[in-house]
Amino acid sequence: MINNSEKIPKWIHENSRVLDLGCGEGQLLAQLIRTHNIDGLGLELDPDKISICLTQGLSVIQHDLNRGLPNFNDQQFDTVVMTQTLQAIRRPDTLLEEMLRVGQEAIVTFPNFAFLRNRIQLGIYGHMPVNPQLPHPWYNTPNIHLSTFTDFEDLCKNLVIRILDKDTSDLSGRHTLLGRIWPNIFGEVAMYRLTKEL
Amino acid sequence: MPKTLGVIKPTLVAFEEPIELSRGGRLSRYDLIVETYGNLNADKSNAVLVCHALSGNHHAAGFYDGETKPGWWDHYIGPEKSIDTDLFFVVSLNNLGGCSGSTGPLSTNPETGEPYGPEFPEITVDDWVHTQARLADSLGIVRFAAVVGGSLGGMQAMQWAINYPERIGAAVIIAAAPRLTAQNIAFNEIARQAIVRDPNFHKGHYNKHGTLPISGVGLARMIGHITYLSDISMGEKFGRDLPRADHDSDGANFAIEQYLRYQGQQFSERFDANTYILMTRALDYFDPMDKKKKGLADLLRPANSKFLVLSFSTDWRFSPSRSEEIVEALVQANRQVSYARLESVHGHDAFLIPNPIYERIFESFMNRLHSELGAINSDQ
């Protein structure tokens, strides 16, 4: 599991209203409530995970993100967070637009398909990458829309989304020197803070 | 073997002060029959009100002496169950206008000395919530930790959150809707027509004529029952099976016919026709938005409670999309809401039927509420 606990909180404002897409067992929301006193809401598909959220007193709504976010008003949240889910969505572009419709800012994390290990597995050995970052075989993976940092930034440009901050790290959230110099080769996990505002 | 509450005895609570009803009627006095489970704690903060649905009553859990059939929600109320009676003090009543012991059409009108019958005043969900609040007063309960209900019971929980935001910690709204659709009202109207067209109904004065509209009430129940089940659950249970030979088939050609006739027969023996008409009207008229001329989100904005909304995948009487209307309004009103659309083949009746994930979600929410009770008190 990718560790988001360090960077994401730095991008969240105190007392803000946060929507967590694919909140899982609610670790991030629970942490942000403790440290930033946020007003948090999670969306999650798995009822077992919803039950775990409820034992912590979190608010969580069962929802399939492929349906977009039609139940939310424009700019209802300060920040909409989605960690390691973008690549599993049927239409990442429309969901990104939705995130920035209902929230002033969005925080998105996803695995970098152009990470060196993936390049070696695909480019030299000729196999779709299977590794700790992308553990599923090609025929049975939730990750149907893998992309690279460069691809993602191109998409943001097309959608007129402004990148406020970005961060690259390895799976455990550590920053490497090479990752800083050549993120699209040495960065394993991408984390972006985005807005539609100019 | 799951734990059970054991033998339960109801209590009759008398209210001698008059009540003005929201559709213009008035009662000079009334009784409510009540069951309670578990113990009220010292600061009286652990009370949970359970509201019943259309044909329910106060006997929600445990057993009556000598009986083998438990209350209607026994699977969800009891020691270590979703509403854990080791933690909570549960209050369950038969609503005003009912026929299970609370004042209703079968009761004697003190002004005439005769049963109210069809003259019993019209009742609304608002009136039920009002009388439930009076019941809470009489028990010394200032604030319910939660008000919980399925179907029409869920509508009462929602009305509680609107009417008494300071007196409710959480509303659990299960298999409900913000108001009825034309199709919902249509089913209720067919059920009422089945009753009023029974020659034994005598415009509601069947007691005076020494008759009972058994066939009308039975038919009303058969119609209602179909809407509580799903095509899948009826298919699984009966399919195209022939009537069971060990039961009276009464000319039925298929098992489903025999089953519906049996359900209708059983119901008509225990349920009063005037009450059925009264309760279905309360359901039809339920529309918290109409009275205040507000959208649902605006109406729910003053609510202070947490909300848990649950729906069931094959429920077509109050489908998941109806529950999602409530959730959407609560989200827009920035209320604390959790929601799950639970998988079940059992249609609307799913809210009464054992279902592990439903139990787990319900229990997680309730147990957390209990753990927060101390924190609420120390804040005040």
Q: What is the distance between the alpha carbons of residues B152 and B51, in angstroms, rounded to a whole number?
A: 8
Indicate the SS3 state at residue A172. Answer: coil
The amino acid at residue A165 is D
pLDDT at residue B135, as a whole number: 98
With pLDDT > 90 as the criterion, what percentage of chain B qualifies? 92
B219 in contact with A at a CB cutoff of 8 Å?
no
Three-class HEC string of B142-195: CCECEEEEECHHHHHHHHHHHHCHHHECEEEEECCCCCCCHHHHHHHHHHHHHH
Find the residue in B nearest to A77 (Cα). Answer: B334
Q: Is A66 within 8 Å of A6 (Cβ atoms)?
A: no
Q: Name the β-bridge partners of A194.
A: A106, A163
Of these residues, B230, B348, B349, B370, which one is catalytic?
Answer: B348
pLDDT at residue A1, as a whole number: 43
Of B327, B328, B357, the CB nearest to A47: B357
pTM: 0.94
A5 in contact with B at a CB cutoff of 8 Å?
no
> Is B298 found in the same domain as B153?
yes
> Is B265 found in the same domain as B160?
no
Q: What is the dihedral of CA B330, B332, B334, B338, to 10 degrees?
A: 40
Secondary structure (DSSP) of A26-88: SHHHHHHHHHH--EEEEEES-HHHHHHHHHTT--EEE--GGG-STTS-TT-EEEEEEES-GGG
> Is B140 found in the same domain as B269?
no
Dump pLDDT digits (tens) for B231-283.
999 999 999 999 888 777 778 889 999 999 999 999 999 999 999 999 999 99
- The pLDDT tens digits along chain A (198 residues) read 455 557 889 999 999 999 999 999 999 999 999 999 999 999 999 999 999 999 999 999 999 999 999 989 999 999 999 998 898 899 999 999 999 999 999 999 998 888 888 889 888 999 999 988 889 999 999 988 889 999 999 999 999 999 999 988 887 778 888 888 888 888 888 899 999 977
Residue B315 inside a domain? The answer is yes
pLDDT at residue B376, as a whole number: 55
Q: What is the mean pLDDT of residues B352-365?
A: 98
Residue B6 inside a domain? The answer is no
> Is B196 found in the same domain as B166?
no
Among candidate residues B248, B280, B312, the one where a domain is terminated:
B280
Q: What is the distance between the alpha carbons of residues A92 and A32, in angstroms, rounded to a whole number?
A: 25
Which band of pLDDT confidence, cut at 50, 70 and 90, is reported for residue B68? very high
> Is B244 found in the same domain as B114?
no
Q: Domain of B191?
A: 184-280
Residue B377 has pLDDT above 70, yes or no: no
Which band of pLDDT confidence, cut at 50, 70 and 90, is reported for residue B227? very high
User: Angle at Cα A171 formed by Cα A166 and Cα A174, nearest 5°?
Assistant: 65
B11 in contact with A at a CB cutoff of 8 Å?
no
pLDDT at residue A5, as a whole number: 56
> Is B346 tagged catalytic?
no
Of these residues, B55, B107, B151, B323, which one is catalytic?
Answer: B151
pLDDT at residue A133, as a whole number: 84
> Is B66 found in the same domain as B39?
yes
A57 in contact with B at a CB cutoff of 8 Å?
yes
Which residues, including other chains, have CB under 8 Å from residue B151's CB and lie 6 or more apart? B53, B54, B174, B175, B176, B317, B318, B348, B351
> Is B313 tagged catalytic?
no
Residue B236 inside a domain? The answer is yes
Report the CATH number that the domain containing residue B142 is assigned in CATH. Answer: 3.40.50.1820
Q: Which residue has the tokens 């859990």?
A: B61
Q: Name the β-bridge partners of A162.
A: A195
With pLDDT > 70 as the criterion, what percentage of chain B qualifies? 97
Number of domains within chain B: 2
Superfamily of domain covering A7-113+147-195 = Vaccinia Virus protein VP39 (3.40.50.150)
Cβ atoms within 10 A of the Cβ of B64, count? 15
> Is B27 found in the same domain as B122?
yes
The amino acid at residue A172 is S
* Proportion of chain B in helix, strand, coil states, percent, rounded to 5: 40, 15, 45
Indicate the SS3 state at residue B12. Answer: strand
Nearest to A114 by CA among A165, A148, A66: A148
Our CA-based measurement puts residue B199 at a distance from the nearest CA of chain A, in whole angstroms, of 49
Q: What is the mean pLDDT of residues B117-145?
A: 98
> Is B353 found in the same domain as B273?
no
Instruction: Please give the ipTM for the structure prediction.
Output: 0.92
Which band of pLDDT confidence, cut at 50, 70 and 90, is reported for residue B1? low
Report the CATH number that the domain containing residue B248 is assigned in CATH. Answer: 1.10.1740.110
pLDDT at residue B357, as a whole number: 97
> Is B319 tagged catalytic?
no
Our CA-based measurement puts residue B86 at a distance from the nearest CA of chain A, in whole angstroms, of 18
Dump pLDDT digits (tens) for B318-333.
999 999 999 999 999 9
Q: What is the distance between the alpha carbons of residues B305 and A71, in angstroms, rounded to a whole number?
A: 21
Q: What is the distance between the alpha carbons of residues B290 and B130, in angstroms, rounded to a whole number?
A: 18
pLDDT at residue A116, as a whole number: 87
B256 in contact with A at a CB cutoff of 8 Å?
no
Dump pLDDT digits (tens) for B178-223.
999 999 999 999 999 999 999 999 999 999 999 999 999 999 999 9
Residue B291 inside a domain? The answer is yes
- Asked if A71's CB is within 8 angstroms of B328's CB, the reply is yes
Among candidate residues B251, B280, B309, the one where a domain is terminated:
B280
> Exposed, middle or buried: residue B174 (CB in 10 Å: 0-12, 13-18, 19+)?
buried
Our CA-based measurement puts residue B93 at a distance from the nearest CA of chain A, in whole angstroms, of 28
Residue B2 inside a domain? The answer is no
> Is B261 found in the same domain as B347?
no
> Is B171 found in the same domain as B196?
no
> Is B53 found in the same domain as B198?
no
Please state the domain extents for chain A. 7-113+147-195
> Is B17 found in the same domain as B54?
yes
Which residues, including other chains, have CB under 8 Å from residue A112's CB and lie 6 or more apart? A118, A148, A149, A168, A183, A184, A187, A188, A189, A190
Dump pLDDT digits (tens) for B86-120.
999 999 999 999 999 999 999 999 999 999 999 99
* Strand ranges (E), B100-140: none
